A and B are shown apart, each in its own frame.
Chain A
Amino acid sequence: MLSDAEIFEKVQLVLVDALGVDDDEVTLGATLEGDLGAESIDFLDIFFRLEKAFTVKISRSEFLPDALFSPDSGFIKDGLVTPEGIAELKKAAPHFDADKLAKNPKIETIKDLTTVQTLVNFVRNKL
Chain B
Amino acid sequence: MRWMWIDKFTDFKSGSHATSVKNVTLAEEHLHDHYPGFPVMPGSLIIEGMAQTGGILLGATNDFKHVVILGKIPKMTFHSWVVPGDTLTYHAKLVDERPEGGLTEVSAKVGDRLVADGEIFFAHVDQSVNGPSGAMIDQKNFVFSMRLMGVMNVGKAGDGSAPAAESAGSGTS
- Interface size class for chain A? 10 to 19
Q: How many A-B residue pairs have CB under 8 A?
A: 29
Is A44 within 8 A of B101, CB to CB? yes
In residues 1-29 of chain A, which contact B (Cβ within 8 Å)? 17-20
Is A45 within 8 A of B75, CB to CB? no
Residues of chain B at interface, number, CB under 8 A? 11
Cβ contacts under 8 Å, A19 to chain B: 74
Report the Cα distance A19→B96, complex, angstroms: 17
In residues 4-55 of chain B, which contact A (Cβ within 8 Å)? none
Cβ contacts under 8 Å, A42 to chain B: 72
Report the Cα distance A52→B72, complex, angstroms: 18
Mask for A64-96, Cβ within 8 A of B = 1, else 0?
000000000000000000000000000000000
Nearest CB of B to A71, in Å: 15
Q: Is B2 an interface residue (CB 8 A)?
A: no
Cβ contacts under 8 Å, B121 to chain A: 41, 44-45, 48
Cβ contacts under 8 Å, A44 to chain B: 71, 100-101, 121, 123
Cβ contacts under 8 Å, B98 to chain A: 48
Cβ contacts under 8 Å, B100 to chain A: 44, 60
Nearest CB of A to B65, in Å: 18
Binding site for A on B (CB under 8 A): 71-72, 74-75, 96, 98, 100-101, 103, 121, 123
**11 A-B pairs whose Cβ atoms sit less than 8 Å apart in the complex:** A20-B75, A41-B71, A41-B123, A42-B72, A44-B71, A44-B101, A44-B123, A48-B103, A48-B121, A51-B96, A60-B100
Across the A-B interface, give the 10 residue pairs with the lowest CB-CB distance, nearest first. A41-B71, A41-B72, A45-B121, A48-B96, A44-B100, A18-B74, A48-B103, A44-B101, A41-B123, A45-B74
